[in-house]
Amino acid sequence: MELKEYWSDSHHSSDFKLTRIGFVAIRFRWLVTLLIIGIAGWIAVDWWVLDPAHFKLIWKIRLITGAMLTPLLPLSYLCKLNRRWMVASLYFLVGVLLAFNLVGLWSFRDGAPIPIGYIAFPYFLLALLSVLPLPVKSGLRVAAVITLCVLATDYWLDSRSLDNGALLDRLWLLICFSLAMIWVQAGQLRMLLDLYRESTRDPLTRLMNRRLFMRQLAHQRDEGGRRPYTLILFDLDRFKRINDEHGHLMGDEVLVRVATTLGDIFGPEAIMSRYGGEEFMVLLPDTTLEQGLRQAETLRLAVESQPVENPLGEGEITVTLSAGVVEGRHDSDLQSLLNRADEALYDAKCSGRNCVQAAA
């Protein structure tokens, strides 16, 4: 995992972004539920430890805060579909809780001793937010908002001076808790990325598996506008013979080499998948049928010109492929598109293999 993937979600795939947002939405929902129950339930503790004057104000503040958080529960089901809603909901949650902290501390402005729970609330909030798998950049923003608001609250309610040892102690603790929160969030992000890759990548070639490829294909059709795109479906000629005559280690080496060649030919713009067995699929966005045919032919020549050496040191073999190419558009039926690509591949096989055919 590259460091840039820790820093910002701009380096994540669109599919993983949706996966992560869905995961965050679930944890966000449980977090809001816990806070609503906890804030309201703490009224019993306030009744026990606070004098009647303070309790009369605090229990109302707690109920109002819980009521303001309640709409986030149904909204969390929509947040998993939209990153902006998720970000707005998170900052709304933080804003409501910081306002609760401000009003709670303000209620002790008469000099009465402040219970430790109110002083420690910002640290408790940072600890709770660590359950969300946020990138470091997002975590820093949240931590900065909380830290600045807490320091501003202390400055306004207490000394109105920055030359204050208690304020510096508060800042030091906030920084420590913020760094701990970001560390835990980054660890959860890594765990989620690892699980996502294990479930969406072919373990041998590290290309997309078929399930993820179909999601990407549907996304290209729905979000690509009226721009055409091209599908290349190909498989390796007489691959069973390679396994039978040279062993499965050689077969695996061939698959890995072809996957490497795919990356070299098409680059990061293409969406590539091990479609099944020795079959591969390539999606080329913003590509016409003629352009797709040329690129498929370039791939065919590249694979044929690069003999694969047997990992057991028993010589090398030449590998060829047959490919079918089809053009898709925004109104294409995906199953029909795949059937046409498969028919073109079958025509290439019937034409003697080691060739490229366009779909009718």
- The structure tokens listed for 148 are 């600045």
pLDDT of residue 108: 80
- Is residue 280 within 8 A of residue 258, CB to CB? The reply is yes
Q: Could you tell me the CA-to-CA distances from 304 to 108, 196, 237, 308, 320 in Å, in that order?
A: 80, 33, 11, 10, 5
Strand order in the sheet with 279-285: 271-276, 279-285, 229-236, 321-328, 356-358
> Among residues of the chain, what percentage have pLDDT more than 70?
96
At 65, the amino acid letter reads T
Tens-digit pLDDT profile for residues 253-295: 999 999 999 999 998 889 999 999 999 999 999 999 999 999 9
User: If you average pLDDT over every residue of the chain, what do you get?
Assistant: 90
- The structure tokens listed for 114 are 């402040």
pLDDT of residue 56: 87
pLDDT of residue 196: 92
Parallel, antiparallel, or unpaired for β 356-358 and 321-328? parallel
pLDDT of residue 171: 86
Per-residue pLDDT at 198 exceeds 70: yes
pLDDT of residue 159: 60
Per-residue pLDDT at 162 exceeds 70: no
- What SS3 state is found at 233? strand
pLDDT of residue 164: 62
Second-level CATH architecture of 210-358: 2-Layer Sandwich (3.30)
> How far is Cα 181 from Cα 91, in angstroms, rounded to an integer?
16
pLDDT of residue 290: 95
Domain boundaries, the chain: 3-200, 210-358
Q: How confident is the model at residue 161 (pLDDT cuts 50, 70, 90)?
A: low
The predicted model gives 327-337 an average pLDDT of 91
Assign 3-state DSSP to the chain and report helix, strand, coil percentages, each to 5.
65, 10, 25
304 is catalytic: no
Which residue has tokens 């209620």? 107
106-120, 158-172, 299-313: lowest mean pLDDT where? 158-172
> Among residues of the chain, what percentage have pLDDT more than 90?
63
pLDDT of residue 55: 87
Burial (Cβ within 10 Å: 0-12, 13-18, ≥19) of residue 334: middle
The predicted model gives 178-199 an average pLDDT of 94
Tens-digit pLDDT profile for residues 33-64: 999 999 999 899 888 888 888 888 889 999 99
> Pick the catalytic residue: 223, 245, 269, 278?
278
Residues 6+ apart with CB under 8 A from 170: 150, 151, 154
pLDDT of residue 150: 87
The predicted model gives 335-349 an average pLDDT of 95
- Is residue 344 within 8 A of residue 360, CB to CB? The reply is yes
Q: How confident is the model at residue 28 (pLDDT cuts 50, 70, 90)?
A: very high
The predicted model gives 191-215 an average pLDDT of 93
pLDDT of residue 268: 83
The predicted model gives 115-140 an average pLDDT of 90
Burial (Cβ within 10 Å: 0-12, 13-18, ≥19) of residue 345: buried
> How far is Cα 211 from Cα 190, in angstroms, rounded to an integer?
22
